[in-house]
Amino acid sequence: MKLLALLGALLVSAALVQANACDDFGQAVDTFIASIRDSGNKLDQVANAHDFAQALNVFSDATETFTKRVKELGPDLVKLSSANPDTPPAGCDKAQERLSSFESDLNSIGAKFGTQGQKYINDDEVKQAFERLKNLQIKEN
């Protein structure tokens, strides 16, 4: 009887950890989207190279934070998806849908950084901000 109770408790705690992974992934997605939108808003208000570099750094911060969080959650997310690959957990599925829906906005904001960055590319602060973003992309691959 005690063994059954222990196994039940372990199953409940494992389910909570997995459910929390989806919740955490959803929160990471929402934070990422909000931060990228914030960087886009800052980009729309750029008046000089310093403003541009700050907006680009917000974009890089969001990318770095999101990537790091997804890597941390990766093992739990893999367990969830491999448990029943035909029906992903609702929280993870909805977060993934939000992320996929945001893809065109993300691409648009990224392209805008590339276009507007040409005006300021000779500025050292802007060069450093672009280098930081480039290094993030290299680390991800």
pLDDT digits over 77-115, tens only? 877 766 666 666 767 889 989 999 999 999 999 999 999
Please report the pLDDT score of residue 82 as a whole number.
Answer: 67
pTM of the predicted structure, to 2 decimals: 0.79
Task: State the Cα torsion 139-98-36-75 to the nearest 10°.
Answer: -30
Altogether, the residues listed in the chain come to a count of 141
pLDDT at 47: 97
pLDDT reported for residue 86: 67
Number of domains in the chain: 1
Is residue 1 scored above 80 in pLDDT? no
Token pair belonging to 48: 């000089």
Q: Is the pLDDT of residue 7 over 50?
A: no
Distance CA 53, CA 104 (A): 23
pLDDT value at residue 80? 74
Residues 91, 23: contact at Cβ < 8 Å? Answer: yes
Range of the domain at 14: 2-140
